[in-house]
Amino acid sequence: MSRRVFQQFTGHKSKTFASVLTVANLRSLRRDALFAKQSVGFVPTMGALHEGHLALIRQAAKENDQVYVSIYVNPTQFGKNEDLSSYPRTWPADEIKLQALSNEFSTNSRFGQITAVFMPSTEEMYPSAPPTSEIDGQGSFVTITPLSTRLEGTSRPVFFRGVATVCMKLLNIVQPEKVYFGQKDIQQTFVIKRMVQDFHIDTEVRVGSTVREPDGLAMSSRNVYLGKRRRKVALVLLDSFKEVQQVFARGARQRKYLYNAAMDKLLMVQKQQKALPKHQRALFEVDYLSIADPDTLDELEVVTAEKGAILSGAIKMLPVEDPHEGEDTGLGGGTTTVRLIDNIRLDLLSAKVGYIP
Ligand SMILES: Nc1ncnc2c1ncn2[C@@H]1O[C@H](COP(=O)(O)OP(=O)(O)OP(=O)(O)O)[C@@H](O)[C@H]1O
Ligand SMILES: CC(C)(CO)[C@@H](O)C(=O)[O-]
Ligand code: BAL
- 53, 185, 340: which to mutate for ligand 3, most atoms within 8 A of CB? 185
Q: How much is the average pLDDT of 254-278? A: 98
Indicate whether residue 356 lines ligand 1 (CB < 6 A).
no
* Model pLDDT, residue 331: 93
Please indicate whether residue 165, judged by its CB atom, sits closer than 6 Å to ligand 2: no
The answer, yes or no, to whether any atom of ligand 2 lies below 6 A from the CB of 185, is yes
Give residue-wise pLDDT tens across range 202-217.
Answer: 999 999 999 999 999 9
Residue 104 CA to chain centroid, in angstroms? Answer: 24
Q: Counting runs of H as helices and runs of E as strands, what totals does the chain give?
A: 12, 9
Binned at pLDDT 50, 70 and 90, residue 355 comes out as confident
- Could you tell me the pLDDT band of residue 314, with boundaries at 50, 70 and 90? very high
Distance CA 242, CA 259 (A): 12
Q: Packing angle between helix 159-174 and helix 23-35, nearest 10 degrees?
A: 50
Residue nearest to atom 22 of ligand 1 (CA): 220
pLDDT, one tens digit per residue, over 176-198 is 999 999 999 999 999 999 999 99
Residue 221 Cβ inside 6 Å of ligand 3? The answer reads: no
Q: What is the pTM of this model?
A: 0.95
Q: Rounded CA gap, 118 and 105, in Å?
A: 19
The overall average pLDDT reported for the chain is 94
Catalytic residues: 53
Distance from Cα 293 to the centre of ligand 1, integer Å: 22
- Model confidence at 45, pLDDT cuts 50, 70, 90, reads very high
Atom of ligand 2 nearest to the CA of 170: 4
Rounded to the nearest whole angstrom, what is the distance from the C-alpha of residue 174 to the centroid of ligand 3?
Answer: 20
Least confident range of 89-98, 129-138, 198-207, 226-235:
129-138
In terms of C-beta density within 10 A (0-12 exposed, 13-18 middle, 19 or more buried), how is residue 255 classed? middle
Smallest CA-to-CA distance from 50 within 233, 212, 247, 253 is with 212
Residue pLDDT, tens place only, 239-258: 999 999 999 999 999 999 99
Q: What is the ipTM of this complex?
A: 0.98
CA 220 – ligand 1 centroid, Å? 6
| Dist. CA 77 → ligand 3 center (Å) | 8
Question: Is residue 148 classed exposed, middle or buried when 0-12, 13-18 and 19+ CB atoms within 10 A define those classes?
Answer: buried
Mean pLDDT on 53-69:
98
d(CA 180, CA 58): 10
pLDDT at 219: 98
pLDDT at 347 (0 to 100): 93
